[in-house]
Amino acid sequence: MKRLDGKWALVTGSSRGIGQQIAIGLAKRGCHVVLHGRDIAHCEKTRSLIEPLGVDIHAVGGDLRTVQGVDLVIRSVQSVPSPIDILYNNAGFQNTWKPIWAITLDEWLESFQVNFFAMVALCNAFAPAMRERGYGRIINLTSGIKDIPQLAPYSATKAAVDKYTADLAFELRETNVLVNALDPGWLKTDLGGPNADHEVETVLPGALVPALLDDDGPSGRLYAAQDYAMLEGSA
């Protein structure tokens, strides 16, 4: 089993849902984790699940809807003594369901701020140091959502994530900073809702694949967590 002993990962939005699973999966491989939620107190449940695994845990709070909140997250993470080796951009928000014509500019902006601009700011903050150290894994959460115009802002942010992931991967080619996207599948979380296809736990072990890539492995790719569902139990 591949290990991540001694590495540090920041998993945004790890207070619940998919991010919580990813943080647990990384910790089971020996990776130290920085947990994140809108409020630091939201991370307590995840912390209690990971503590028995014996890795180091830090928690940071910050609302990604504002530039100040994003800056707070970045400054808080940079105060952790060890550099970030794995940046898992998982935090996400889905706009309120309504006819595409009725979606306001503020709603479009809110979706892009949380799902896209915050991710860009986090990459800008941590990728250059990864390049200097010659190691980094950046994974951005995308979605296979399609033909739901009522959620157009959400879908458009994920299309932007895909494009940005490809461009950043190209920028960081031959640096051993590997940048990939993860489609988790439709999962039963607060965001995915109770009618989703899969339990949240099925994001593992697939979500770990782009974090566990060998040096100079694939970059700019899309990984689908459900493709690895048959490996259930190996997470």
Ligand X SMILES: NC(=O)c1ccc[n+]([C@@H]2O[C@H](COP(=O)([O-])OP(=O)(O)OC[C@H]3O[C@@H](n4cnc5c(N)ncnc54)[C@H](OP(=O)(O)O)[C@@H]3O)[C@@H](O)[C@H]2O)c1
Minimum CB separation of residue 214 from ligand X in Å reads 25
Minimum CB separation of residue 134 from ligand X in Å reads 28
In contact, 107 and 95? CB cutoff 8 Å: yes
Told to check if 4 binds ligand X by CB under 6 A, we report no
Report the residue number, 56 or 63, with the smaller CB distance to ligand X: 63
Minimum CB separation of residue 206 from ligand X in Å reads 12
Minimum CB separation of residue 151 from ligand X in Å reads 10
Q: Strand 222-224 and strand 177-183: pairing? A: parallel
What's the token pair of residue 61?
């709070």
Cis preceding linkage at 194, omega within 30? no
Binding mask 77-96 for ligand X (x = CB under 6 A): -------------xxxx---
Report the residue number, 122 or 212, with the smaller CB distance to ligand X: 122
Binding mask 149-188 for ligand X (x = CB under 6 A): -----------------------------------x-xx-
The DSSP secondary structure of 23-88, one letter per residue, reads HHHHHHTT-EEEEEESSGGGGHHHHHHHGGG---EEEEE--TTSHHHHHHHHHHHHTSSSPPSEEE
Minimum CB separation of residue 142 from ligand X in Å reads 7
Told to check if 141 binds ligand X by CB under 6 A, we report yes
Dihedral of CA 54/39/121/149: which sign? positive
What is the C-alpha to C-alpha distance for residues 130 and 177, in angstroms, rounded to an integer? 6
Q: Which residue in 154, 164, 223, 228 is the catalytic one?
A: 154
Among 16, 45, 131, 221, binds ligand X (CB under 6 A): 16
In contact, 38 and 8? CB cutoff 8 Å: no
Number of neighbours of residue 5 by Cβ within 10 angstroms: 9
Among 95, 111, 143, 175, binds ligand X (CB under 6 A): 143
Report the residue number, 141 or 179, with the smaller CB distance to ligand X: 141
Report the residue number, 7 or 36, with the smaller CB distance to ligand X: 36
Q: What is the DSSP letter of 89?
A: E
Based on the residue annotation, tell me whether 223 is a catalytic residue of this protein.
no
Residues with a known catalytic role: 154
